[in-house]
Amino acid sequence: MLNQPLPDLQAWVDFFSHAEMPVLRQTARRLEEARQNVDKISGRDIARIVLQDPLMAIRVLADIQPFHGKHLRSDITTIANAIMMLGVEPFFNRLETSLTIENVLKSEAQALLGLLQVVRRVQRASQYAHDWAFERHDANIEEVALAALLHDIAEILLWCFAPRLALEIRDRQQADKTLRSARVQEQVLGIRLFDLQLALCDAWSLPGLLKMLMDDANAHLPRVQNVALAVKLARHSTGGWDDAALPDDFVAIEKLLHVSRETLFNRLDIPPELAAQYLARDPAGEPDGGPKRTPAQ
């Protein structure tokens, strides 16, 4: 476990690319239950378990890339295809784990809470991305959902392996709301987590498509915009539906999906009183700063 920042980006990449990835305790339990019923379980059943856990998803993708390269010409870009490539029983043999996030951080209660909050956030982002990709008739919905799940994987790794540094970043941002994430990351870590994430994608030989989908610089592409907006919405709504950044998110999502503000609010299950405030102030769906702040729902 790291208590001090490493000297440069390559040192961070080397550390994380060789670290054993823990998984959520719930993931380990559900996979063990699946193993006990291996004759009745399908690859799709396993994929559904993996797709709730960003660290388990990374383990699967990183494991399959060198293996599949000897057999296939195209990249494997979904968890379901990776499991199909491996086979159900070989999946359990190759990816068995007893190391859980909860055990790794058992003496770091605040960091564990922070990590679990990030995991819940990326799970929501993945679900948004999945639903919107379905609505957009995307050619491969799971690719989009997986990219959203993995979009903040470097932040999750930091909470796992350098919890005190992750807490310092969080505390600085809470103390000064004007601090940009990239700036405080450079102050505390000496690197930007985004740069680390792209470098890790290369170190793990992840498919170029997933790397492209996770890179907000490609947001002019509808699929990348789908991922980026899902991540933003999950992040900005973490504390409730009254964050000042949400009106801009709503406008962009409406344009992506070609839906009205009212339709979007219904699909997002925004509390009626907050939805009414937004609609009363801005029925046309233009950003206006949002409703007056009320207690988070």
pLDDT at 66: 63
Query: Which has more pLDDT, 158 or 86?
Result: 158
State the average pLDDT for the chain. 90
Q: What is the pLDDT of residues 219-256, one digit of tens each?
A: 899 999 999 999 999 999 998 998 889 999 999 999 99
pLDDT at 67: 59
The mean pLDDT of 193-210, rounded to a whole number, is 92
Please give the Cα distance from 153 to 119 (Å, whole number). Answer: 9
pLDDT at 2: 94
**Rg of the chain (C-alpha set):** 20
Q: What is the pLDDT of residues 129-146, one digit of tens each?
A: 999 999 999 999 999 999
pLDDT at 277 over 90: no
Please give the Cα distance from 36 to 5 (Å, whole number). Answer: 42
The mean pLDDT of 49-60, rounded to a whole number, is 96
Asked whether the beta carbons of 157 and 184 are under 8 A apart, the reply is no
Q: What is the pLDDT of residues 59-90, one digit of tens each?
A: 999 888 765 555 555 678 899 999 998 899 98
Name the CA dihedral angle for 114, 118, 120, 126, rounded to a multiple of 10 degrees: 180
pTM: 0.90
Domain boundaries, the chain: 20-102, 239-297
Q: Which of 256, 252, 247 is nearest to 275 (CA)?
A: 247
Give the chain as a 3 state SS string.
Answer: CCCCCCCCHHHHHHHHHHCCCCECHHHHHHHHHHHHCCCCCCHHHHHHHHCCCHHHHHHHHHHHHHHHCCCCCCCCCCHHHHHHHHCHHHHHHHHCCCCEHHHHCCCCHHHHHHHHHHHHHHHHHHHHHHHHHHHCCCCCHHHHHHHHHHCCHHHHHHHHHCHHHHHHHHHHHHHCCCCCHHHHHHHHHCCCHHHHHHHHHHHCCCCHHHHHHCCHHHCCCHHHHHHHHHHHHHHHCCCCCCCCCHHHHHHHHHHHHCCCHHHHHHHHCCCHHHHHHHHHHCCCCCCCCCCCCCCCC
pLDDT at 11 over 80: yes
Dihedral sign (CA 183, 186, 188, 191): positive
